[in-house]
Amino acid sequence: CYGIRPELVNEGWTCSRCAAHAWTAECCLCNLRGGALQMTTDRRWIHVICAIAVPEVRFLNVMERHPVDISAIPEQRWK
């Protein structure tokens, strides 16, 4: 679900959140910590599954599932 090509996965691979040392990062949509988080275009974090579930969200690189553009989410939905 993370969008990593199989040939790039090896013993030294780390996810985006771990590579950024963002140990306490939480999803900007559901506010839960941990899991498969990717960075948004405005430098927040979002779960891949949350990004898939919200119709206005899009992956700028669909194959690698990042960065994630959340700018089309209407303001009233953030409340």
Measure the CA angle with vertex 38, ends 34 and 43; round to 5°: 105
Residue carrying structure tokens 């599954």? 49
In tens, the pLDDT along 3-51 reads: 777 777 777 778 889 889 999 999 999 999 989 999 999 999 999 999 9
In whole angstroms, what is the distance from residue 60 CA to residue 38 CA? 12
Contact yes or no for 47/25 (Cβ under 8 A)? no
E-only strand ranges, the chain: 37-39, 45-47, 58-59, 68-69
Band the pLDDT of 2: cuts 50, 70, 90. low
Q: Which two tokens stand for residue 43?
A: 């430098």
Can you give the pTM of this predicted structure? 0.85
Domain ranges of the chain: 6-78
